[in-house]
Amino acid sequence: MYLRTTKRRRKDGSEVRYLQLAHNDWDAAAGQSRVQVIYNFGREDQLDRDAIARLISSLSRALPAGQALAAGVGGDLEFVESRPMGAAYVLDGLWRRLGIDKTLRTLVKGTKRASEVERVLFALVANRAIDPSSKLAATSWVADRVAIDGLGTLDADACYRAMDWLLEVEDDLAEAVYWATADLLNLEVDLLFFDTTSTYFEIEQADDPAEGETVGFRTHGHSKDHRADLPQIIVGMAVTRDGIPIRVWSWPGNTNDSALIRQVKDDLRSWRLGRVVWVADRGFASAENRRYLQRAGGHYILGEKLRAGTAEADAALARQGRYHRIAGNLEVKEVVIDDGAMRDRFVICRNPDAAQRDRVVRDQLLAQLADAIDDTDKLSATERAELTGSLPAALRRFLRTTPSGLLRIDRAAVAAEEHLDGKFLLRTADPTLTVEDIALGYKQLLQVERGWRDMKSTLELRPVYHRLENRIRAHVVLCWLALLLIRIAETATGDTWRNLRHHLDQMHLGEFASPAGSFKRRTATTQTQARILAALDMPEPREFSELRPATTPAA
With pLDDT > 70 as the criterion, what percentage of the chain qualifies?
92
Residue type, 393: A
| pLDDT computed for residue 67 by the predictor | 60
| pLDDT computed for residue 373 by the predictor | 92
Tell which residue, 217, 204, 113, 205, has the closest CA to residue 165: 113
| pLDDT computed for residue 242 by the predictor | 82
| pLDDT computed for residue 66 by the predictor | 59
pLDDT above 90 (res 431)? no
Where residue 555 falls among pLDDT bands split at 50, 70, 90? very low
State the first-to-last Cα distance of the chain, in angstroms, to the nearest integer.
47
CA 347, CA 262: separation in Å to the nearest integer?
24
Question: Which of 322-326, 469-473, 485-489 comes out lowest in average pLDDT?
Answer: 322-326
Q: pLDDT tens across 221-251, in order?
A: 999 898 999 999 999 999 988 889 999 999 9
pLDDT above 70 (res 2)? no
CA 206, CA 201: separation in Å to the nearest integer?
9
Tell which residue, 449, 466, 465, has the closest CA to residue 457: 449
pLDDT averaged over the chain? Answer: 87
Tell which residue, 17, 23, 58, has the closest CA to residue 41: 17
pLDDT above 50 (res 369)? yes
Length of the chain in terms of residues written: 555
Q: SS3 breakdown of the chain: % helix, strand, coil, rounded to 5? A: 45, 25, 30
Tell which residue, 519, 545, 546, 509, has the closest CA to residue 77: 519
Dump the DSSP string for 372-411: HHTTGGGS-HHHHHHHHHHS-HHHHTTEEE-TTS-EEE-H
Residue type, 24: N
**Beta-carbon contacts of residue 153 (< 8 Å; ≥ 6 apart):** 139, 142, 143
